[in-house]
Amino acid sequence: MHNINLFAKTVLSISVCCISTVGLAATEVHSAHASSAEIATIAAQADTQSHQSHQSHQSHQSHQSHQSDSSVQESQSHDHRKEHGAQVYAVSTLDTQWQVNDHAEGVLKSKLQTRIGTDENKLFVKIHSDKQESQATEYDAKLLYSRMISNFWDVQAGVRYRHEVNQQEHQTDREDKFDAVFGLHGLAPYFFETDAYFYLGEDQYAALSLETTRDLLLTQKLIAQPYLDVDVILQDDAKYAKKTGLNRAAVGVEMRYEISKNIMPYISAGYEYTKGDQHTDWQSATDSEQSGLYAIGLRFRF
C-alpha cells in the first residue's frame, strides 16, 4: 500500500511537471508570436509612414514645380523693361529772352528743345533762332539720336540745318546749309550739364561747340546758373566764312525763379567775345568785338 501511494505521488509529480513545461512552452510560443506580430505591425506602420512621406514629398515637389512654372510664365508675360528704364517719356523746354549788349543792340533769342524716348535710347530736337533788330531771322535746327553709354553720359549723332542771313552793304544774302553732328551730352564732374559737339559740313566746314551750365540752389525756388558757351571754327571755306580759331565765347550767370517746375522767369548778365569774319570775295574782314550781355527771359517746361 505504501508502494502504491509512493508510485501515485511520483506519477502525479511527473504529470504536474510536464503540464507546467507544456504551459511555459505555450506561453513562450504565444509571446514570440505576439512579438512577431508587433514587429510586423511596426514595420507596416513604418512602411505606411514612409509611403505617406514619399507621397507628400512628391506632392510638395509637384506643387513647387507648378509654382516654378507659374512664376516662369508670369515672368515671361510681365514686361520687366518698365522696371529698368524702358518706359517712353517726353519733355519739352521753350525758352525766350530779350538780350541787349553794351552798344544797345537788341536781339530776340528763342530756343525749343524736345526729347522723347527711353533712358537708353532717345531723340533730341533742338531749334535756335536769333532775330536782330532790323534784320531777318537766323535759325538752326538739330535732330539727334542719343544713346546712353554710362550713368551720366550719352553719345549723340545726327544732322544740323542752318539758315544764315548775311547783311552786306547793298544786299542781304541767305544761305541754307547742312552739317553732320557728333557729340556728348551729360553731366561732367561736379554736376556741370554739358553739350559738346563736332560739326562737319559743306565748303570744308569743321567746327566745335561747348555749352555747360551748373545749377546752384540759393533757395528751393531761387536758382543761380553760371554758364559757358564756346564756338571754335577749325576750317571754313564758305562764301561768308568766319575766322578760324576761337570764334565766339560767352560766360555769365543766370538768376531764375521757379514759380513751378513748368514756369521759370529769369534774368542774366554776362560777357561775350566774337572774333569776326574772314576776308573773302563776297565779304570784307571784320574785327573782333567784346561786350557785356544783359537779358530777361521766360522758360516753360512741359
Q: What is the pLDDT of residues 150-176, one digit of tens each?
A: 999 999 999 999 999 887 777 788 899
One domain for residues 133 and 258: yes
Asked whether residue 182 is assigned to any structural domain, the reply reads yes
One domain for residues 184 and 277: yes
Contact assessment for residue 297 and residue 95, using Cβ atoms and an 8 Å cutoff: yes
Distance CA 159, CA 143 (A): 6
CATH assignment at residue 250:
2.40.160.40
One domain for residues 101 and 245: yes
The amino acid at residue 231 is D
> Per the structure block, which three cell numbers stand in for 112?
525749343
Asked whether residue 263 is assigned to any structural domain, the reply reads yes
Distance CA 288, CA 195 (A): 25
Asked whether residue 84 is assigned to any structural domain, the reply reads no
Q: Domain range spanning residue 2?
A: 1-78
Can you give the pLDDT at residue 73? 52
Can you give the pLDDT at residue 99? 97
The amino acid at residue 66 is H
One domain for residues 117 and 257: yes
Domain end among 54, 78, 102: 78
Task: Write the pLDDT tens digit of every residue in 107-162.
Answer: 999 999 999 999 999 999 999 999 988 888 999 999 999 999 999 999 999 999 99
One domain for residues 120 and 206: yes
One domain for residues 194 and 253: yes
One domain for residues 105 and 247: yes
Q: Closest by alpha carbon to 240, among 206, 201, 279?
A: 279
Contact assessment for residue 210 and residue 227, using Cβ atoms and an 8 Å cutoff: no
Distance CA 239, CA 178 (A): 15
Contact assessment for residue 287 and residue 276, using Cβ atoms and an 8 Å cutoff: yes
Q: Closest by alpha carbon to 251, among 213, 199, 289?
A: 213
One domain for residues 94 and 137: yes
Asked whether residue 188 is assigned to any structural domain, the reply reads yes
pTM, two decimals, is 0.71
> Per the structure block, which three cell numbers stand in for 193?
550739364
Asked whether residue 83 is assigned to any structural domain, the reply reads no
Asked whether residue 161 is assigned to any structural domain, the reply reads yes
Distance CA 302, CA 298 (A): 13
Reported as type and span, the H/E element at residue 246 is strand 245-257
One domain for residues 18 and 160: no
One domain for residues 72 and 208: no
**Domains in the chain: how many in total?**
2
Can you give the pLDDT at residue 33? 40
Can you give the pLDDT at residue 166? 84
Domain end among 24, 55, 78: 78
One domain for residues 113 and 69: no
pLDDT tens sequence for the chain (302 residues): 343 344 334 333 444 333 343 333 333 333 334 334 443 343 444 444 444 444 444 444 444 444 444 444 544 555 544 555 579 999 999 999 999 999 999 999 999 999 999 999 999 999 999 998 888 899 999 999 999 999 999 999 999 999 998 877 777 888 999 999 999 999 999 999 999 999 999 999 999 999 999 999 999 999 999 999 999 999 999 988 999 999 999 999 999 999 999 999 999 999 999 999 998 888 888 899 999 999 999 999 99
One domain for residues 94 and 27: no
Q: Closest by alpha carbon to 196, among 186, 183, 206, 205?
A: 183
Chain centroid to Cα 145, Å, comes to 15
- If you compute the radius of gyration of the chain from its CA atoms, what whole number of angstroms results? 47
**What does each C-alpha distance from 103 to 95, 242, 271, 291, 292 come to in angstroms?**
24, 22, 13, 8, 9
Provide the 10 A C-beta neighbour count for residue 156.
Answer: 22
Distance CA 95, CA 126 (A): 11
Distance CA 189, CA 208 (A): 21
Asked whether residue 197 is assigned to any structural domain, the reply reads yes
Domain end among 78, 105, 139: 78
Asked whether residue 54 is assigned to any structural domain, the reply reads yes
Can you give the pLDDT at residue 26? 37
